[in-house]
Chain A
Amino acid sequence: MTVSRRGLLAATAAAPALMRVQDALAQGIAPRRGGTLTTILSPEPPVLQIGVNNQGPTLVAAGKIFQGLLTFSPTLEPIPVLAKSWTISPDGKEYVFKLQEGVKFHDGHPMTAEDVIFSIMKFHMEVAPRARAIFALIDKAEAPDPLTVRLTLKQPFQPFLLMFDNSACAIVPKHLFDGQDYRTAPAVQKPVGTGPFRFAEWQRGNFIRLERFADYWKPGQPYLDAIIYRIVPDSQSRRLAIETGQVLLTQGSDIEPFDVPALRSRPNLEVSTKGWEYFSPLAWIELNHRVKPLDDVRVRQAISMAIDRNFITQRLWFGVGKPATNPIASTTRFHDASAKIAGHDVKAAVALLDAAGLKPNAQGVRFTLKHLTLPYGEVWSRLAEYLKQSLRQVGIALELESTDAGSWARRVGAWEYDTTINFVYQFGDPTLGVERTYVSTNIQKVTFTNTGGYSNPKVDELFATARNAADPKDRQAAFSAVQKILCEEVPQIWLMEMAFPTIHDKKLRNAISTGLGVHASFDDVFLTA
């Protein structure tokens, strides 16, 4: 269901079908050459070199300059980019990629298998921790000819292909980096990739201009002459810019959720929350299991039942996002729809707390917890206030603490909190983006690990089975089992599958055509007359 065997046997078969989907998205209008796309980037990224910096804005803008071997459809099927085709050996250990012909870097150098191997084995191994953990599984990387790359793994690793999207493994020019410090090489300031747009100009605090790369390997593409990313730090100015047509596209958290309803009603704008399937961020109330009585499963279940997730998604996020049902987002592979947390039920929550022996005092308070508000803006403060009120109804007093972004990360990393809000990317596969929050081997004093301290040997074992199994069927079985256990034990209180609104003028076509949305290369994006 979520996994097809296509990925193992004939990945390329997926490609033609998807191209038709894209054509359909264009609604039969022939692509038109020319025009400049003005859009917004916020906050301003420090550099545009993927790997050296992997924050959201960097990935969006540098996604036009660099390309990976593959990208992924909204259902996370691989789509060829720099790899024309690929095969995977039946034992799941050998991956052979055939590269596209005639691919050139922006400085005119041809891209070969040497650049691909350098990018995987040296560049991203060195600069990107997430890539390092996975690419360490590679035993051998060889180039039998200049357009073929063969990777041999030490053990089968089924989510391996997901690591070849541009956001995880951009192909960088070996000749500009080899033998230098990758983080300080001159190419980091003047990024050179194979993408449809080349870096032209960057006025710090003002704009970044990318221009059409004439020698792009897809004939006739890209359609746009240039893309200008304006840096607009204020959210109300961003809203005005898209409303008045000064920019044609906004993405990520450019537009606050409360501004979305008004923009939805504008006839010239299109609002979509698609294009985040690869990342699929999931938000939850992060509980510190070292704080009593959060170690009691009945208390956690009660907290989960006391909260109305529909209210959160509809009233706080104005429908941008949807209620979470289990630890794996519904857009991530191996999500099991049959594993569900219990719904909103205040009476049942009260009964559970009574059963746990937590009697209310004269004020009706059973116990008090601190809540570290996520300092990412207003909607998160509203969420904290909502949680405070909902939990008070079942007799849990939540005391809110304000903080800044730096202190938030430090305190969560140091386990110095009772409860807070957290959200993390899932990267398409639970082994890549979900496991880290629940296995006891990842209890670390580092943010975005298992900071809550949840530990269950059975869960550890199931995640390990799913990680090491070569057959998607075995992995699905293990993930389904683990989702059932986690839904019973609710180690964290999952709230919402987050979505970010992509808002664009209807003149702009193909802005979202893959599971990475606005992070894509935009070589098929065009403006109608």
Chain B
Amino acid sequence: MRDFWRRFRRNKGAVVGLVILLLVVLVAATAPWLYPGSPWDMAGAPFSPPGEMGMLLGTDSLGRDVAAGIAHGARISLLVGAVSTVAALLVGVTLGAVAGYLGGFADDAVMRFTEFFQTIPSFVLAILLVAIFTPSIGSVVFAIAIVSWPPVARVVRAEFLSLRGREFVQAAEVLGKSRLSIVLTDILPNALSPIVVLSSLMVASAILLESALSFLGLGDPNLMTWGFLIGSGRSVIRLAWWMSVFPGIAIFLTVLALNLVGEGLSDALNPRLARQRGGAA
């Protein structure tokens, strides 16, 4: 573990990303104390610029505090990112493991099914799903999970394909361990590092997807999200830039942080790769 942390620390960008990410998590966790009450409350005069009327980041067209919206929006963005990633991982890992370990017909069937999803542009599919199931937090998470599992399935399948012929797997088979037990206790732990790296990037893309859906008015109409803040501020951007710029910065920083952390994880989990990179530099 100390080794891992040392390798992670070597990547300066990753540390910066981790700090930003922790800050976002902190803001999300403390939002109910920082900004008590609902972020939809009209707290001040509409169109107050940042700094005026005691509003750190100004107010929007209904007089809602933009800072409160960003703080409470962080909760929704992180929640959607985390839950939809977990859901996508469950589907992707299961299908990838089945395809990679069993091979043969099962592999063909699962991969054709995966390709079927990969041929549809993911954002269009997400819009369609949300529109069909009417916008709510549940349908948004569902739609994001549905469009993000195929890459997981492919990565997991590739890992399993390479691991299943290794000697320790053959040994486990000879010992008479059940297939399920081999998959869960022998192969999966060894395939974990690419999955961890991938999932940190998936959280980032889930946050982007949710923001894009909310921007288009397809978010949960009862929840304050970053995409909603930008979408509702967009029309008055010439009058009030702060309504869309600050939530935009929030999205940018969070997604950037997740990507940096993902890279750091990749370095820490693949020491050989990191060393090569370090040597080149």
Name A residues whose Cβ lies closer than 8 Å to a Cβ of B.
256, 258, 261-262, 315-316, 373, 378, 381-382, 384-386, 388-389, 392, 399-404
Contact = CB atoms under 8 A, between A and B. Distances in A.
A381 B232 CA distance: 9
B61 interface: yes
B134 A388 contact: no
Contact of B221 (A316, A392, A400, A404): A400
A384 to B, nearest CB: 7
Nearest to A239: B238
A309 to B, nearest CB: 15
Interface of B: 38, 40-42, 46, 61-63, 131, 134-135, 217-218, 221-222, 232, 235-236, 238-239
A-B pairs with lowest CB-CB distance, top 6? A400-B221, A402-B135, A315-B46, A402-B221, A258-B236, A258-B235
Nearest to B41: A389
A381 B62 contact: no
A392 B222 CA distance: 13
Q: Could you tell me the dominant secondary structure of chain A's interface residues?
A: helix
A385 B42 CA distance: 10
A258 B62 CA distance: 12
Contact of B40 (A262, A373, A385): A385
A373 B218 CA distance: 12
Given A315-B62, A378-B217, 11 more contacts: A258-B61, A258-B235, A315-B61, A316-B62, A378-B235, A385-B40, A385-B62, A388-B40, A389-B42, A400-B222, A401-B134
A261 B46 CA distance: 15
Contacts of B41: 389
A35 B212 CA distance: 45
Contacts of B61: 258, 315-316, 382
Contacts of A402: 134-135, 217-218, 221
A400 B96 CA distance: 39
Nearest to A371: B221
A276 to B, nearest CB: 23
B222 A399 contact: yes
B218 to A, nearest CB: 7
A373 B222 CA distance: 11
Contacts of A261: 239
B40 A389 contact: yes
Contacts of A392: 38, 40
Nearest to B224: A385
A384 B38 contact: no
Contacts of B62: 315-316, 382, 385-386, 389
A401 B221 CA distance: 7
A403 B130 CA distance: 11
A386 B61 CA distance: 10
Nearest to B60: A382
Nearest to A399: B222
A98 B46 CA distance: 56
23 contacts: A258-B61, A258-B239, A262-B238, A315-B61, A315-B62, A378-B232, A382-B61, A382-B62, A385-B40, A386-B42, A388-B222, A389-B40, A389-B41, A389-B42, A392-B40, A399-B222, A400-B222, A402-B134, A402-B135, A402-B217, A402-B221, A403-B134, A404-B131
Contacts of A378: 217, 232, 235
Nearest to A373: B221
A158 to B, nearest CB: 43
Contacts of B236: 258
Contacts of B42: 386, 389
A400 B134 CA distance: 11
B140 to A, nearest CB: 12
A525 B62 CA distance: 39
Contacts of A381: 217, 221, 232
A262 B41 CA distance: 27
A304 B42 CA distance: 19
A295 B169 CA distance: 71
A404 B63 CA distance: 27
B264 to A, nearest CB: 39
Contacts of A315: 46, 61-63
A171 to B, nearest CB: 42
Nearest to B219: A402
A403 B132 CA distance: 10
A373 B219 CA distance: 13
A319 to B, nearest CB: 13
A384 B62 CA distance: 11
A247 B97 CA distance: 62
Contacts of B40: 385, 388-389, 392
A384 B134 CA distance: 17
A124 B183 CA distance: 75
Contacts of A388: 40, 222
Contacts of B238: 262
